[in-house]
């Protein structure tokens, strides 16, 4: 048990703002008495994020799920939407909450994203959109999805919860599809304690996004849409402004950690990494591996339990598949997603992990 960690090692450790800096902004918030509803820090953070993500339009929300719920309403989606079963429950649940049937499509093994060569077989006269996830920050095949959407007159929403600062060549991930959603939950590299955002190229959507985020209220006494309360408050926005300054350094640290994991774990057969195209700038959000039991000699579940014995809490993102949820009674035959879901394990991944921490974790895995 010499690899035992004294303190638990979780999948992530949120970046925390310098206390003094945060308290200074909190003091300003106290002095102003403005705690929410398009306050100064919200507007400042929206501006900074537009520039960092290189997107023309961005609005902040109180979490990624509310943002996604809103995006679906903004585009007037209805009927059926094609999506992936290999995702967090929030993805299909936002469709169901909008009265839409999620139609699941299998995934492609190396990227773990929706299989673009399978999508068309699920299109019916009820299909209104494709809701694809850039799983673990790895971009979907955006070109092919755009062509399918164009040919069948469908909208495209990208769940970019994991893809903060991902780029395809030089293009920000937030510029693809009709709308992209980002999550700023504390488990995300950039966070606002809880939060999210929508980005979109079409500026004419902006008014509706803002209306739906604020109960549909245009101004006092004028309610134009059946909106929701999706507003981010000033305490969240202030947190985000300070965390933003820490993101670049955190990304560099995660890059080194990712390289070290790969270097050690690739010494043995049976462990696979998510494939990234060389022209993609990664988000460094998660570090997923896939353990093929036949080649490696031990199963994903064995390694997950073994790590726990040493106080290391990896996560089986995403297991079970959305098609295995107790309430779901649709088709379940998605062989690639099923295999990936049984093999995947996200390892602890955050800048504070030391080289020796990573080596210890790898030693536990390699046994």
Residue 49 touching ligand T4K (CB under 6 A): no
Minimum gap (Å) between residue 280 Cβ and ligand T4K? 18
What is the per-residue binding string for ligand T4K in 129-148, x denoting contact by CB under 6 A? ----x---------------
Stretch that binds ligand T4K, among 8-16, 35-43, 101-109, 302-310 (CB under 6 A): 8-16
Q: Which of 273, 249, 276, 275 is nearest to 261 (CA)?
A: 273
Residue 176 touching ligand T4K (CB under 6 A): no
The structure tokens listed for 139 are 């971009």
Q: Which is nearer to ligand T4K, 13 or 101 (CB)?
A: 13
Which residue from 80, 159, 178, 225 is in contact with ligand T4K, where contact means CB under 6 A? 159
Q: Where are the alpha helices (DSSP H) in the chain?
A: 19-32, 40-53, 64-74, 90-97, 142-152, 206-213, 234-244, 247-265, 293-296, 300-309, 335-343, 355-366
- Mode of pairing for the β-strands spanning 167-168 and 271-273: unpaired
Which residue from 111, 187, 199, 360 is in contact with ligand T4K, where contact means CB under 6 A? 187
Q: Sign (positive/negative) of CA torsion 14, 16, 22, 26?
A: positive
Residue 259: half-sphere exposure toward Cβ, Cα within 13 Å = 6
Residue 196 touching ligand T4K (CB under 6 A): yes
Q: Where are the alpha helices (DSSP H) in 230-283?
A: 234-244, 247-265
What is the per-residue binding string for ligand T4K in 287-316, x denoting contact by CB under 6 A? --------------------------x-x-
Residue 183 touching ligand T4K (CB under 6 A): yes
Give dist(CA 236, CA 49) in Å, integer: 14
Measured distance between the N- and C-terminal CA atoms of the chain, rounded to whole angstroms: 11
Residue 321 touching ligand T4K (CB under 6 A): no
Site for ligand T4K, rule CB under 6 A: 10-14, 63-65, 87-88, 90-91, 133, 159, 161, 183, 185-187, 196, 313, 315, 317
């Amino acid at each position: 048990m010499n690899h035992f960690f004294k303190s638990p090692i979780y999948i992530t450790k949120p970046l925390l703002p310098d206390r003094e800096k945060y308290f200074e902004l909190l003091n300003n918030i106290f002095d102003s008495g403005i705690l929410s509803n398009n306050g100064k820090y919200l507007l400042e953070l929206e501006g900074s994020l537009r520039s960092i993500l290189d997107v023309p339009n961005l609005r902040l929300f109180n979490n990624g799920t509310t943002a996604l719920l809103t995006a679906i309403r903004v585009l007037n989606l209805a009927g059926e939407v094609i999506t992936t079963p290999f995702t967090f429950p929030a993805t299909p649940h936002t469709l169901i909450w909008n009265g839409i049937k999620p139609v699941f499509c299998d995934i492609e093994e190396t990227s773990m994203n929706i299989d673009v060569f399978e999508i068309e077989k699920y299109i019916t006269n009820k299909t209104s959109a494709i809701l694809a996830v850039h799983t673990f920050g790895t971009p979907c095949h955006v070109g092919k999805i755009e062509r399918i959407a164009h040919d069948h007159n469908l909208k495209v929403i990208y769940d970019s919860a994991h893809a903060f600062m991902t780029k395809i060549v030089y293009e920000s991930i937030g510029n693809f599809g009709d709308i992209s959603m980002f999550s700023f939950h504390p488990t995300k590299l950039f966070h606002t304690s809880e939060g999210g955002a929508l980005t979109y190229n079409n500026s004419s959507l902006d008014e509706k996004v803002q209306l739906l985020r604020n109960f549909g209220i245009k101004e006092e006494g004028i309610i134009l849409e059946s909106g929701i309360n999706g507003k981010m408050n000033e305490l969240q926005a202030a947190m985000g402004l300070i965390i933003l300054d820490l993101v670049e350094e955190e990304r560099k640290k995660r890059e080194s950690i990712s390289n070290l994991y790969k270097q050690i774990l690739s010494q043995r057969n049976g462990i696979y990494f998510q494939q990234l195209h060389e022209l993609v700038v990664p988000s460094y959000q998660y570090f997923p591996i896939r353990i093929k039991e036949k080649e490696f000699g031990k199963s994903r579940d064995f390694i997950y339990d073994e790590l726990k014995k040493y106080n290391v809490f990896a996560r089986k993102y995403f297991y079970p598949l959305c098609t295995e949820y107790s309430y779901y009674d649709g088709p379940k035959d998605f062989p690639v997603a099923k295999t990936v879901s049984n093999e995947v394990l996200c390892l602890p991944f955050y800048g504070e992990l030391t080289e020796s921490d990573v080596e210890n974790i790898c030693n536990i895995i390699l046994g």
